[in-house]
Amino acid sequence: MGDDKPSFYGCACSYNLRMTGMIEMKQTIWIAFFAAAFGAAFGVFIAQDRAVSRVSAQQTKENSAGDQAGTSVASTLKLDPTEQSQYTAEELVNFNVYDSTNRGVVHITTRSARTSAFLLFETPTEGAGSGSVLDKDGHILTNNHVVRGAREIYVRLYNGEEYPAGVVGSDELNDLAVLRIEAPDDFLHPIAFGDSAALRVGQKIHAIGNPFGLERTYTVGIVSSLNRQLPTADRRTMKSIVQIDAAINPGNSGGPLLNNQGEMVGVNVAIASKVGESSGVGFAIPANTARRVVPQLIENGRVIRPDIGITRVYKTEDGLLIATVAPEGPADRAGLKGFKLVKTRTQRGPFIYEQTRVDQSQADLIVAIDGQAVNNVDQFMTIIESGKPGDEVVVTVIRDNQREDVKVVLGGE
C-alpha cells in the first residue's frame, strides 16, 4: 500500500525549481524595465537640456547683437556707459534716427486765395505741410498738394529761421514737388535717400513732420503693406505706395519716412481716415520714385514723359476705342485711326441743310501694348510712361475685325 502512494517530491522538487527560475526571470524583467525607463527619462532630460541650451544660446546671441547695436549707436550718440544703461537698444536706435535727421525736416506754410462761388471776392486761405532738405543748394522735397495753387510759400528750418520759397518743379501724377530757398549752407542738413525696394512688411520705420503745426514731431511704426494704390485727382493711380501704421496727421504731408539708418525711404502723403485724423493707416510715396523724379524736376521743372499722341479714348468691354489723335503726332504718323466727322447735306425745297455726324466704324480698338493687354486708361498710360521719348512700342488693335500690330515711335510731352 505504501508503494502505491503517489510521490510529490519529485514533482515538488521540479515545481520549486520552475518557481525559482520564474522568480529570477521576473526580477530580470523588472530590472530591464527600470533600466529602460531610466534610460528614456535620462534621454528626454538630456534632449530638453540641449534644446534649452540652444534656445539660451540663441537668445544670448540675439541679446548680444542687440547690445552691440545699442553700443554702436550709443557711441554715435556719445553716451557714457551710465547713460547707455538707462535705455534699451531699440530706444538708442530711435534716438540716433531722430538726432541725425530732424534738422533736415522743414515746416512749410502757404498762403493762397479762394474765390467765393456766390460773392465775387477772394478769401485768404492758409495751408501747412512738411518737407525734407535735399541738398546744400536749398532744394526742398515735399508733396505737390501741399503747395498746389499757393501764392506765397514759406519754409521754416529747425532753428526757427523762415525763408520764402519758390516752386522749382512739380509732378501731379506722383504728387511730388521741389522747392528752393536761399539759406546759409550751415542751416541746411540734407537727408539721404535710401532704397525703398528693400522695404519689408513688418520692418520698423520712423516718421518726422509737423502735424497740426507741431514742428518735427517724431512717430514710430512698421511697414504694414507694400504696393498699395492711391487714386489721384485726375483719375489716375499712384502705384507702389507704402502703407504704414506710424501715426501721421494733417501737416505730416511731404515729410520723410525713414529707416533705422536714418535714410529717407518714403515721402508721407496721405492717411485713410473718416475723421481726418490718424487711424493707423498711412501711406508714403516710395523713395525710389522720388529719386527718379527729383532730378527731372530740378533740371526741367517737370517730368518729361513719353507721348503716344492719342488724345482721347473710350473704354469698351473689348478694349480702348480711339476717339481722337493729335494731328501729326506719333499715333497719327503711325496710321492709328480715331473717329471720323462726316458731313452730309440735305436739300429740302430751296433750303440746304448741313449736318455733321461722328462715324465710329473706322476707329481702331486698342487691345494691347507690347503684348500686354489693356482694359483701361490707367493700364494704357502706365505702359506708355514706363518708356521714354524715342522708344518704339507695338500697339495691337482690332481693325476691320482683324487683329493688327502697329509700330509707334513715342514722342515727348
The catalytic residues are 145, 175, 253
* Phi, psi angle pair for 87, to nearest 5°: -125, 155
Residues 109-144 as b or e (16 or more Cβ within 10 Å = b):
bbebeeeeeeeeeeeeeebbbbbbbbeeebbbbbbb
- Residue 18: its H or E element: helix 9-77
DSSP letter for each residue of 360-393: -TT--EEEEETTEE--SHHHHHHHHHTS-TT-EE
Is the Cα torsion angle 76, 79, 80, 85 positive or negative in sign? negative
> Are the C-beta atoms of residues 242 and 283 closer than 8 Å to each other?
yes
DSSP letter for each residue of 177-246: EEEE----GGG-----B--GGG--TT-EEEEEE-GGG-TTEEEEEEEEEEEEEEE-TTS-EEEEEEEE-S
Counting beta carbons within 10 angstroms of the beta carbon of residue 187, is it exposed (0 to 12), middle (13 to 18) or buried (19 or more)? Answer: middle
Measured between alpha carbons, how far is 269 from 119 in angstroms, rounded to an integer?
Answer: 33
> Are the C-beta atoms of residues 380 and 367 closer than 8 Å to each other?
no
Rg (CA), the chain: 38
3-class secondary-structure state, position 316:
coil
Counting beta carbons within 10 angstroms of the beta carbon of residue 16, is it exposed (0 to 12), middle (13 to 18) or buried (19 or more)? Answer: exposed
Nearest to 140 by CA among 125, 159, 153: 153
3-class secondary-structure state, position 273:
coil
> Are the C-beta atoms of residues 275 and 299 closer than 8 Å to each other?
no
